[in-house]
Amino acid sequence: MRTTLVRNIASLVTNDPEREDGPLGLVEDAALVIEGERIAWAGRTADAPAADDVVDAKGRAVVPGFVDSHSHLVFAGDRTQEFNARMSGRPYQAGGIRTTVTATRGASDEALGANVARYLAEALRQGTTTQETKSGYGLTVEDEARALRIAAEHTDEVTYLGAHIVAPEYADDPAAYVDLVTGAMLDACAPYARWVDVFCEKGAFDGDQARAILTAGQAKGLLARVHANQLTYGPGVRLAVELDAASADHCTHLTDADVDALANSATVATLLPGAEFSTRAPWPDARRLLDAGATVALSTDCNPGSSFTSSMPFCIALAVRDMKMTPDEAIWSATAGGAAALRRTDIGRLAPGARADLAFLDAPSHVHLAYRPGVPLVDEVWRAGRRV
């Protein structure tokens, strides 16, 4: 198989736990050898083996492609007015999702697919090489299955979120909607999805309903992840840990028991600072989670209502500036942390055997992602060993 040597990397983030220099496994004056889709070697340029082709990184930094483990890209319509009103003083409530449900149901397959492709391309330009995305704006058997079928045409990380909110048609009988989500809708959706998710929140689904939805999905072979403790304290985080969910997402309102549960589990705490930014809500306390020993991921939550950003660099900058993460912690959480939240070991790191997903930065160090907020530093992206 043909090999490519990428040399003259000023600073390389490997996230290789075998290396000594911190959790980032940082290598200065570094090089990589790529064989096919995979990393074959990483180390100092001076020690690099020969390869068939040579690429000069010209003193740029290289980080693993970002792993965005939480987004809602299968939607139609626009919520500019809602955002504008909120920035003029009205609070965010879960019910705003209904606006997008109406628009999504009315959109063609082609329009929905084009939207997914557009936002995936936008994210890729900003260094995201793995993107999870969800259903949740259909809320009928046909519309949820359609959303997942379209999502699966674009990414392997597809999540069934029929339990985003109770469908408007079931407003007077939420129990019947839970029966649908755990019954006919699940049957129609499971073939397209890897994950099952639920919005466990006041105004959406309570702890008992969330448990029924997640365990039904698990019985169908789906893996669990949970929208937990975003707007209020609640049972979501502890339910996620109890059911060995890969990730509890949001984690904005946590008790000490919630933090302990996360720290003593394989469930990743995924923080989505774009949501707090876009709703002017209190930040999740990343420092408290990290100091307790929890694994933390960062993700965009890209969706038209509460966090309409596809930018992982923006989330890194917010996490460092406002959530008290160090730049190193934020980079790790946006790459290896995201991979952990998707239970993946082949992405989020640049060590031998990993997929060759690379983001080249127009900067000498990964720290610039937080140091130079809002600047488009990602100027070249490779996925599976190929420049894209």
Which DSSP state fits 307? Answer: B
- Number of residues engaging Zn ion in binding (CB under 5 A): 1
For Zn ion, give the closer residue by CB, 4 or 270.
270
Phi first, then psi: give them for residue 56, nearest 5 degrees: -95, 115
Which 110-149 positions form the footprint of Zn ion (CB under 5 A)? none
Tell me what percent of the chain is helix, strand and coil, each rounded to the nearest 5.
35, 25, 40
The contact pattern for Zn ion, residues 221-260, with x = CB under 5 A and - = no contact, is: ----------------------------------------
Q: Which residue has the tokens 């998710």?
A: 197
Stretch that binds Zn ion, among 51-59, 118-126, 300-308, 311-319 (CB under 5 A): 300-308
If the CB atoms of residues 132 and 329 are measured against Zn ion, the closer one turns out to be 132
Cβ nearer to Zn ion, comparing 137 with 192: 137
Amino acid type, 259: V
Q: How far is the CB of 301 from Zn ion (least distance, A)?
A: 5
Residue 31 has, within 13 A of its CA and on its CB side, a CA count of 20
Alpha carbon distance, N-terminus to C-terminus of the chain: 20
Q: Kindly indicate which of the ranges 187-195, 257-265, 284-292, 297-305 contains the residues binding Zn ion, using the contact rule CB under 5 A.
A: 297-305
Q: Which amino acid is at 103?
A: A
Nearer to Zn ion, 4 or 333 (CB): 333
CB nearer Zn ion, residue 132 or residue 301? 301
**Residue closer to Zn ion, measured from CB, 11 or 306:** 306
The residue count for the chain:
388
Report residue 300 as tokens.
């965009």
Residue number with CB closer to Zn ion (12 or 189): 189
Q: Which of 377, 276, 263, 378 is nearest to 321 (CA)?
A: 276
Selected range binding Zn ion among 7-15, 118-126, 169-177, 294-302, rule: CB under 5 A: 294-302
Give the residue with the Cβ less far from Zn ion, 24 or 275. 275
Binding segment toward Zn ion, per CB under 5 A, in 147-155, 216-224, 295-303, 340-348: 295-303
Distance of closest approach, residue 193 Cβ to Zn ion, in angstroms: 15
| Least CB distance to Zn ion at residue 308 (A) | 12
Closest approach, Cβ 229 to Zn ion, in A, equals 13
Backbone angles phi, psi at 98, to 5 degrees: -60, -35
Window contacting Zn ion (CB under 5 A); options: 30-38, 259-267, 281-289, 296-304 = 296-304
Handedness of CA 15, 16, 18, 20 (dihedral sign): negative
The least CB distance from residue 206 to Zn ion, in Å, is 18
For Zn ion, which residue has the nearest CB?
301
Amino acid type, 196: V
**Among 385, 353, 348, 361, CA closest to 57:** 361
Q: And the tokens for 110?
A: 């082609």
Please list the residues that pair with 33 across neighbouring strands: 5, 41
Is residue 237 a contact partner of residue 207, using CB atoms and an 8 Å limit? Answer: no
- Residue 227 CB, nearest approach to Zn ion (Å): 5
Can you give the binding site for Zn ion, defined by CB under 5 A?
A: 301
